A and B are shown apart, each in its own frame.
Chain A
Amino acid sequence: MTARFPCPRAPVPATHPANQPRRIRWMAAVILFVAVVPSPIHAQQAGRVRLTSGAEIPGEIIGLSPNGVEVETEGKPRKFAIESVKEVRFDDEPDAVRDARGLLLRRDGAAALAALGRIESGEMDGADREIRAELAFVTSAATAREALATGANLVNAQKAVGDFLAAHPRSHHLYAMQEMLGDLLARQGKPAEAAAAYGLLEKGPPGIAMRAATLKAALLYRQHDYAEALRAYEAAARGAGSLPAAAGSEDSRDPLQRGIDQARAAAVMAVKRDADLGRARCLTRLGKTGEAITVVRAALGDADADDDEALGRIFNALGDAQRTESEQPPPAQAGERNRDALISFLTVHLVHNAAAANDAEALFNLVELWDRANNPERARAARRTLETTYPDSSWAQRLPPAKAP
């Protein structure tokens, strides 16, 4: 399969919008190539791998590729599939880079860029190639994340991501950045190009490929084609559920291997959860709020109690369905349903508020729901919090003008 791409290291063409699909196809070739080509890193780096299950494995990082990470720990090399890796940390990387990456994981691009601003001049002098690549990743990803949050500078962000992908085609961030490229294109109203960008993920490991299906379904949702999006999400959920890793592997005698297996399972579960939440959102838009609530409650039943980001999204989806349900007849039940929605969004705002996007969405909903609950004081407080904490978020921008007191 890789033999058909003779020049994997050739530069990526310029990112003119008209050339996107062709460019994306070309990049697919790069990905497929690098996925199978051994990718020793420049020099062994001391560091640690954080898995999606929460486990951390310290050791020497001896291999990085789009499909996985290899670490020598306790004298033995260990391979980690990329979908089970949450973060790779290098002991020698500047604190600012590490902090910025942490903020990126919370989807806070602006804060990540601010953190990067703390890097002293000369701090990166003599840094290894991997650490320089890490800085490039964090910088371009933070730029993209901020653009996605605010809707501004999307073209520049797209260029930054494209440049990173061109310069680092064998990065372990490849799939994440490819997804971000798709997100940027979708945000600019280019669903076909975005779908092409996501399409490249389909060639990745099964968990990543399933992620692509979910992302494509999200594109349909964004275009208000809820029925089609629902079908796509359902297919993605079925696909994720059928992956062997979904069941996990509890029987390994090696605790580390057990942790690795759990991480892989958690990654697959995350993909399935995304698909389920997408299904719920579609069902809500289609007026099938009862079904939506059932789907979200099932996702909540499978969720990790410590995963604030995921729980934030789950409760937002639940609140969305309950809010929509409160707008449906009979009016006599509107008050109770409004309360249910309030409880869900308050759970996000007061408990699972680690991710800015989740909190902003919850606050946006609280503004109107408190108003409906005849509590304009709390509505105003929610509005104030949204406008001051997330002034650039799309949710803040969607707020209707405040009523004059």
Chain B
Amino acid sequence: MARGLDGLDTFDPSRVKVAGGSCPPACTIPPAEPAHPSHPKFDGPSERFHNDSIAIGSSVFLPGRSTRMHSRALRAVVVACGLVILARGESTSGGESAAESSTRRLLEALDERQMPDVMLWVIDRAEADPDLSPDLKRELPFLRATALVGTSRTEPDGARRAAILDEAATSIDAFLAVCPEGDRAIAAYTQKANLLIERGRGGLEQAKRPGQDATKLSREAAAFFDAAIACLQGTVTPDQKEIPTVANAEDAVIKSLREANAEIDAIKATAKGKAPDGTVRLAPPQQKEVERLGEIRDGLQAKLLSTRIMTAATIFEKSKAFPADSKEARAAIAESTAMFKSLAEKYPTKAAGTFARYYWGRNEAAMGRYAAAVDILAPVVGLDGTSPLAVSLRAKAAATVLECWLALAAKERDPEKLRRTYSNLGDDLRKFALTPADRLPGRSLDADWLALKYRTAAMLDGLAASLDARERQAKGLLQRDAKKLATEVATVNRDFAKEARDLAARLGKDLPVGKDEQDAASLVADGRLAYAAMQEKQATAKRLLAEGKTAEAAEAATLAAADRDAALKRFEEAIAMAEAEKQPDEAILNSARSMLAFLLYDAGRLEEAAAVGGMLAEQFPNAAGSRQAAKVALASLQQLASRADSATSVEAKARLAALAVVMTRVWATEAEGADAFSVLLNLAIDAHDAPEMLALLARVPRESPRRAEFVLRAGTALRREAQEARKMDPSGRPDEATLAAWNEAAKSSIDEGLAMMARAASPPTGPALKVAVSAALARAQMALEDGDRETAGRMLEHESFGPWTVVRGGDPALAQGPIAAVTLTVALRHFIETEQFDKAEQAMGALERAAGAGEEASAKLTAMYLSMGRDLQSQLESLGAGEKAGSPEVRDRAAKILAGFEKFLAGVAGRDRKISSQLWVATTYLTLGSGTGTAGIVSRSKAEHYLDRAAEAYAGLLARRDDPQASESDRAEIARFEPSIRLKLAGMLEERGKWNEAQEQLDWILADPKRQNTLDIQVRAAALLEAAGRAAAAAGDMEKADTLLREAASGRQSPTAAIWGWGGIANRLSRQAFAADDERAMKAREQFFDARLRVADTLFARATLVGRADRQQRLETARTAITMTRKLYPDLGGPAFQRRFEKLLEEIQREEGTGATP
């Protein structure tokens, strides 16, 4: 590999001074490119370039470097590359427009200030600008790559980060496709190599994690490193005259270098003579041009060296992709070492040679040749420059030397030799290692400094241990420094953090922590230490619990809680300390806040967790840890909102909504925003707030990662709201246009969501499948209502989320339960309507299976049939009430529906004698005949026909109870069903005006004392008395009417049955109705007010019976019933009930002659 270096013999050695020279090496290397005159700020790209090369190389050496550190080094290289371009004179020529010049300068400034997100906005705008010059347009892909690398630095998700880097590489390829040679191309090749190195390192990091396919990942990493080497390493040999194509950085440099040399030679050939010193004599302009070209050549020479150093470093990096002692690993290290050695020996006084020497020593150390490594690195450790580069290089070399000493000490058994090994750490190096972070060039500890400080601490600790008891004072001083260094490393919490924490903790037992050593950063480090301990104990507790060792698990959990409390205390102290500072370090402060939020949540201090997490989300959304903290706050508030304490719950709900709104704004298109949208939707669903659901649908971004799920849930909820609203009293429900809008929004949302699910690479599973199935079911129902049988069928039978498909698929989570029941009834309805009777039979069979085999099976089955019947009824009512009611089109649709049912019901009734089938036939006939809003669709005679068919079916069933031909099980089942059959018969008889017969059925039911306490039956009984009373009044039988109405209001006692009446119903409901705010209580409250209203209404009806002498008194009683209700329950059960009470009161007062309500 030690090929000749083109043109390096002309490199001026006097410009580089190392090992004791007054000028640090890096700053003496001339700039790679002349800076553009209008951009004087960027006059040192070469220094940056070399700096980056070192950074990259160093990372090859250090074990356990974090990816973040890698990316920092990478970013620096990328920045340098970008700035080389920006600073070049080529494209920023004098003719550039103000707009273009401003764009360039803005991009430079944004890059300097590390605002890659804004760089991407600017590049997007520039790309869309038709007036942009071709020069700048060509550079944009390269600049985009720079910005993308910048954004990748803050991306916590590994997969997304890799995707960003891939996009950056693609951008570079696009640039190189149009600009494969020249300075910009050199920078681009280098940048691409760095991206590939970054990917390789990422793969190796991932391979270390448990559960990963390490072999596969390592193989992929090796491929990335090979690709990076191909980007860097040249193929041109020194004797090769022509370079026809360029495909890597080294060849690009060599070609440019040869061109510069050729230009210089060409100018010199025009010389008219020689000076006495032998140099050619040139005219001033030519001399000036030669000097300019000379500077360019010098820059290219430096670049060539740095490229080769980078190649060697990448080869070393590649060695890590193979097992440590493998042939491949050894070969890679050997090749890398030979390259570094060659460069170091050939250019001992040059900056590049010094870099190469460092890497050479580092490689020797990696191969376990510690003594050789120490010797090789001695001149580098002896660098005394104060420039950032000199300090950085010295730190790297010193860290490696310390590693070598520690390795040698670990093998040493002779105490005296051990002490001598530790004593190698001289005062100069000790002092160097103790340099405070804020005095370092980067004002922070990078991986090299962390290694240096930790290893110095370990050396000091070892040296202290080797001292005897009489040297107590010296020992104490050594330990103090060791602890200080270890604490510093632990505080940063990156490389060597664990070792440093252990060392600091061990030293802490010997040396009390002085107050002066406490700062926010060290408190955070201590807090993290306690947190790590807590996690370990929690894991232990979980494991013990899984093993069934409950007592031990509880003990471990208690210990974990103690660690958590210790961590909490540390973070609280750190925050208090940092907040008291004039200019607090926001990164440390917010990191502590984020940890605090989590620990508070873990400790059940939900209020505080929500406050801290919420503050981070709102005030510092872009800080590391804020997303996590926001999620903690969201979870805390959700728990608080679900508490029984009404005041806490209400306040928490309001805060939950406020936080979710912030999160949807800040992270609109990200996972956190999706979570927040989901929370807001849940709140809207709980509150039955359809307008809010519509607003959320408008706000949720197209790019939201959970949009499909969101629109499906919102659409399903909207459909439910529209359905519920239709059941409301007309005076209280939204108008038709609003309900139609809700339905339309529901349809389009569900259609969009299902289309997204259908397009997804893999079909939905788990909870997502449940959401999709529910939505498809709702959509099928809507399609059935619209008469859109094609859509209904498509929805029900979709191959991946069709409810009919899924319910029959065998997934126990979906084949049972409410979704299955509704699916089967909807499918049954659809198949009957479309006359797919074979499938209808299958649906009936599935319904019976879904109902199960227990005692409740028949009841369940009946409930499911009823549900289907209600849907059918609702559909017919809807047809009868719509705008086109009565039109031939509607009549035709209804006729088709009814024809399908009639045909199917007749068939089932005739051939299927199963009780469940007969029940279904009866129930369906009942629902077809008893709808109150189906008059426009089902003629009176037809309705009566259906009711007769139902009564016939029910009577047939009851007859089989005493039929000796029937099986015992059938008779037993009918006996079980008898009350429900009689109830239905009562309903039918009531509908036909056969009051006495209906009452007989109810009396039979109520004869059983157990059934007397069934609320629904009592409601039916009171309603029957009221209806019979009103019918008697209409027929002119005022006495009978009065009696029945009185009994409807106050109840009736007979020897066999007790009817509570509306008053009794209200009394019995009053406690349950106001005991809580849950759904059950709300339902009871509704029934309570309904009963109170009907008490007043029946009183009013009695007052208005013809010929009553006590009319006024009765009217007053009716009025008092309302005013008393209002006095006791001022809200009267909400707006809808208020309107009904007011309306009745107005009628009473009109009858009294007192006018309208005051």
- Chain A residues with CB under 8 Å of chain B are 297, 300-301, 303-307, 311, 314-315, 339-340, 342-343, 346-347, 350-352, 374-378, 403, 405
Contact = CB atoms under 8 A, between A and B. Distances in A.
B620 A305 contact: no
A343 B666 contact: no
B99 A300 contact: yes
Contacts of A301: 97-99
B125 A305 contact: no
Interface residues of B, number: 26
B125 A340 contact: yes
Interface in B771-815: none
B121 interface: yes
Contact of A343 (B113, B121, B622): B121
A301 B98 CA distance: 7
Contacts of B621: 374-377
Contacts of A350: 105-106, 109-110, 113
Contacts of B122: 343
B615 A405 contact: yes
Nearest to A314: B98
A342 B125 CA distance: 12
A300 B98 contact: yes
Contacts of B106: 343, 346-347, 350-351
12 contacts: A300-B99, A301-B97, A311-B102, A342-B118, A343-B125, A346-B118, A347-B102, A350-B113, A351-B102, A351-B106, A375-B621, A405-B615
B617 to A, nearest CB: 10
Contacts of B118: 342-343, 346
Tell me which of B96, B102, B105, B118 has the highest count of chain A C-beta atoms within 10 A of its own C-beta. Answer: B102
B110 A352 contact: no
B619 interface: yes
A377 B619 CA distance: 7
Contacts of B98: 300-301, 303-305, 307, 311, 314
Contacts of B125: 340, 343
Nearest to A350: B109
A258 B905 CA distance: 103
Contact of B619 (A342, A352, A405): A405
Given A343-B118, A374-B665, A352 B102 contact: yes
Nearest to B626: A377
B179 interface: no
B618 interface: yes
A108 to B, nearest CB: 21
Contacts of B586: 377
B11 to A, nearest CB: 37
Contact of A376 (B101, B109, B110, B618): B618
B97 A305 contact: yes
Contacts of A306: 38
- The dominant DSSP class at the A interface is helix
Interface string B609-629: 000000100111111000000
Tell me which of B38, B118, B122, B586 has the highest count of chain A C-beta atoms within 10 A of its own C-beta. Answer: B118
A237 B113 CA distance: 39
Contacts of A351: 102, 105-106, 109
Nearest to A404: B619
Nearest to B92: A305
A105 B691 CA distance: 58
A375 B98 CA distance: 29
A303 B100 CA distance: 11
Given A301-B97, A343-B118, A351-B109, 15 more contacts: A301-B98, A301-B99, A305-B98, A305-B102, A314-B98, A342-B121, A343-B106, A343-B125, A346-B106, A346-B109, A375-B621, A377-B586, A377-B620, A377-B621, A405-B619
- The dominant DSSP class at the B interface is helix
Nearest to B103: A347
A393 B34 CA distance: 40
A289 to B, nearest CB: 17
Tell me which of A301, A304, A346 has the highest count of chain B C-beta atoms within 10 A of its own C-beta. Answer: A346
Contacts of A343: 106, 118, 121-122, 125
A271 to B, nearest CB: 18
B623 A346 contact: no
A120 to B, nearest CB: 32
Interface string B581-622: 000001000000000000000000000000000010011111
A375 B622 contact: yes
Nearest to A302: B98
B271 to A, nearest CB: 33
Contacts of A297: 99
Contacts of A352: 102
Contacts of B665: 374
Interface in B133-179: none
Contacts of B109: 346, 350-351
Contacts of A305: 38, 96-98, 101-102
Given A342-B118, A343-B125, A350-B109, A374 B666 contact: yes
The 8 closest A-B pairs by CB, nearest first: A350-B109, A303-B98, A305-B101, A305-B98, A374-B666, A351-B105, A405-B619, A347-B106
B38 to A, nearest CB: 8
Nearest to B94: A305
Interface string B663-674: 001100000000
Nearest to B623: A377
B42 to A, nearest CB: 13
A121 B125 CA distance: 56
A195 to B, nearest CB: 33
Contacts of B113: 350
A93 B49 CA distance: 46
Nearest to B662: A374
A376 B621 CA distance: 7
A266 to B, nearest CB: 13
Contacts of B666: 374
Tell me which of B99, B101, B620, B621 has the highest count of chain A C-beta atoms within 10 A of its own C-beta. Answer: B99
Nearest to B699: A331
A326 to B, nearest CB: 14
Interface string B650-692: 0000000000000001100000000000000000000000000
A346 B110 contact: yes
A352 B97 CA distance: 15
Contacts of A340: 125
B971 to A, nearest CB: 68
Contacts of A314: 98
A80 B943 CA distance: 106
A301 B129 CA distance: 13
A403 B619 CA distance: 9
A374 B586 CA distance: 18
A240 B113 CA distance: 40
A340 B106 CA distance: 13
Tell me which of B98, B118, B620 has the highest count of chain A C-beta atoms within 10 A of its own C-beta. Answer: B98
Tell me which of B96, B106, B620, B623 has the highest count of chain A C-beta atoms within 10 A of its own C-beta. Answer: B106
A350 B105 CA distance: 8
A13 to B, nearest CB: 46
Contacts of B105: 350-351
B167 to A, nearest CB: 20
Given A342-B118, A346-B110, A350-B110, A376 B619 contact: yes
Interface in B13-38: 38
Interface string B992-1015: 000000000000000000000000
A32 B658 CA distance: 67
A307 B615 CA distance: 43
A301 B122 CA distance: 18
A353 to B, nearest CB: 10
Nearest to A336: B121
Nearest to B621: A374
A303 B102 CA distance: 11
Contacts of B615: 405
A303 B97 CA distance: 8
B620 to A, nearest CB: 6
A297 B102 CA distance: 13
B622 A377 contact: yes
